[in-house]
Structure 1
Amino acid sequence: MNAYAAMKQYQTVNVNAQVTEADPHRLIQMLFEGGLQRIAQAKGAMQYGNVALKGELIGKSIGIVSGLRESLDIKKGGEMAANLDNLYAFMIQRLSHANLKNDPAVLDEVANLLREIKEGWDAIQA
């Protein structure tokens, strides 16, 4: 896992946190948290008709999911990492679709997927 790539992606979305002091496990948790927050905020912006903010927040969500994807080590993680890579690619596609079609249900779909992965990650001891 490339924790530094994940940390860099996390910093690019302007999330205030103790990124430099976090261990790699916590960095990934922070990415999940940030992604879920941005998706929820994007849904709110979508519901209030704030197109510019919706696009910005979905873009940040895509950036975070991309950071999670880039942090995967396919060689060490084998099939599980490959499956996560495919799932993250799917999530990015769905987020783009949600932005284009203004579809809050798709944001919920991605948030639910991300939440499930986060729960699994949270259960892992660092």
Structure 2
Amino acid sequence: MPLSPYKAYKQNSVMTATPGELTLMLYNGCIRFIRQAGKTLHEKDYKGKNMNLQKAQAIIRELMVTLDMNQPIAKNMMQLYDYMNRRLIEANIKNDPSILDEVEKLVTDMRDAWKQAVENVKKAQPKRDRI
């Protein structure tokens, strides 16, 4: 069965993305799932809340396993990811939207910093000759 044009576009976006862009996609996905969990929590859809929080946690775990622990900042990032993961578990258990807001802010701040870093790398790279 062929992919829909949207799914084909999304798949191509992932396949052609740089590692930095892939990390940015992970941050954006995590934010999206946290927001969706907040929405489903507000609607008292606890199954949906749980599903979305598990997806957000899976992204956080992926960010954790892809850290290059030889980099000086990696230890601090690991601790922050671990904290966010534990807070998402707590939000899921306690049905606490304020915890979701806290973690969403942390992920958003990291995403924004990462986005700036990706843009700085792109600016520093020489332009390719255009045909």
Please tell me the TM-score bracket, short chain as reference. 0.7 to 0.9
Aligned to 2:77: 84
Question: After TM superposition, what 4+ stretches of structure 1 lie above 3 angstroms from structure 2?
Answer: none
* Alignment partner of 1:51 out of 37, 46, 58: 46
After the TM superposition, which residues 85-104 of structure 1 pair with which residues of structure 2 at under 5 Å, given as runs? 85-104=78-97
Aligned to 2:109: 116
* Alignment partner of 1:71 out of 63, 66, 73: 66
Q: How many residues align?
A: 109
Q: TM-score under structure 2 normalisation? A: 0.80
Q: 1:36 Cα shift?
A: 0.2
Q: 1:20 Cα shift?
A: 1.3
Give 2:115's aligned amino acid. D
Q: TM-score under structure 1 normalisation? A: 0.83
Give 1:57's aligned amino acid. N
Q: CA RMSD in A?
A: 1.0
Q: Distance in 1 between matches of 2:113 and 2:99?
A: 22
Aligned to 1:27: 22
Structure with more relative contact order (C-alpha pairs < 8 Å, separation 6 or more): 1
Gaps of 5+ in 1: 1-15
Aligned to 2:128: none
State the structure with more CA Rg. Answer: 2
